[in-house]
Structure 1
Amino acid sequence: MTKRAVILLGMAAGLIWACAVVYYGLQWTQIGRTDTSPLAASATGLLFPGLVLVALIARLAQRRFFDDAMIDGQTLQGGALIDQRVLSNTIEQTVLAICIWPCATLLSGAVGLPIILGLSFLLARLLFWIGYHLSAPLRSLGFAATFYPTILTALYVLWQFVP
């Protein structure tokens, strides 16, 4: 299978994943038996991207600490370079999530949406990270499964403003 075919397959699977995540997230309007505010739900959902960032930052710090060629801030190499790329992309994805998820939660009243988006983000970022270390084209599923739910959520928000 060619690289492009692997990437396309990952993107298609990520789109299917995204549709399921957003659909089920929008159905989830109550957490347990309590009323949860959309603000509290949004904050809870954004915890998961934060946890991914913690893991990536800790892994890079560990790699630098135990590698004499990088301990003094020298150029990253090998697996650390991949981890840095994953961290950079995860920061970009997190900024998108911060900009979009709370709006969707406030407009929909679906307090489960940011939580399922956050859990999905965590799982997808792990797939991205592992896939990138195995083979660059394999990162496509993790990328798409992170990016597409946020984009679909943004489209949902924009749709709310259409009369």
Structure 2
Amino acid sequence: MIGMALGLAWGMALIFIGTVYVRIPIFSFNWMLALAFLLAAIVPLLVIARQAARRFFDDTLIDGQPYLPGSPGDIDARVLQNSIEQLVLAMAVWPAAGTLLVTSGPGVVLMLGGGFLISRLAFWGGYHLSPPLRAFGFAASFYPTIIVLVWALAIWII
């Protein structure tokens, strides 16, 4: 529960910092969006590389056998699945939200991308080492996207 609460606080802080302190000109929005997605893609890339390296040294995995339940490979597969799910959600939300946030959009989107990278690393490490860190990593990558979605919808409706 603490990890989830800290993840929510992280999300609110990311968006606050992106709005108040990260002042990037609006004409840079496309560049910031591209950078945000590149940052967000780093953890899935690292997990895929780790999975490929693991398969390279294991004949059963090379032959297509599934990972043993609870094994490090199985955990990494779950991390990858969840990271891709969250990245798909981010790809649907961040461009639209960044556009609706107008002058705050570039800074917020950049903070979302950087925050996603850090929180997904915490999720991955936490999945292997510590359930509270895992909870924080999940919440810290999920809640910011939801917060910015609600904020952008409120701007659009009002």
> Residue 28 of structure 2 corresponds to which residue in structure 1?
37
Alpha-carbon contact 2:2-2:132 (below 8 Å) kept: no
Count of residues in Structure 1 that have an aligned counterpart in Structure 2: 153
Where does 1:8-157 land on structure 2 (aligned, <5 Å)?
8-27=1-20, 28-30=22-24, 36-77=27-68, 78-108=71-101, 109-110=103-104, 111-136=106-131, 138-157=133-152
Which segments of 5 or more consecutive residues in structure 1 lack a partner in the other structure?
A: 1-7
Q: Distance in 2 between matches of 1:103 and 1:150?
A: 11
1:46-80 per-position Cα deviation (integer Å, ceiling 9, x unaligned): 11111111111111111111122312111113100
- Report the aligned-residue RMSD: 1.5
Alpha-carbon contact 1:128-1:138 (below 8 Å) kept: yes
Counterpart secondary structure, 1:159: helix
Counterpart secondary structure, 1:161: helix
Instruction: Give the structure with the larger helix fraction.
Output: 2
Counterpart secondary structure, 1:90: helix
Letter of the 1:19 counterpart: M
Letter of the 1:66 counterpart: F
Q: Distance in 2 between matches of 1:88 and 1:115?
A: 23
Alpha-carbon contact 2:3-2:136 (below 8 Å) kept: yes
TM-score by length of 1: 0.88
Letter of the 1:37 counterpart: S
Q: Distance in 2 between matches of 1:75 and 1:162?
A: 47
Alpha-carbon contact 2:100-2:156 (below 8 Å) kept: no
- How much has 1:29 moved relative to structure 2? 3.1
- How much has 1:106 moved relative to structure 2? 1.2
Which segments of 5 or more consecutive residues in structure 2 lack a partner in the other structure?
A: none
Runs of 4+ in 1 over 6 A off after TM superposition: none
Q: Distance in 2 between matches of 1:101 and 1:29?
A: 17
Identity percentage over the alignment?
45
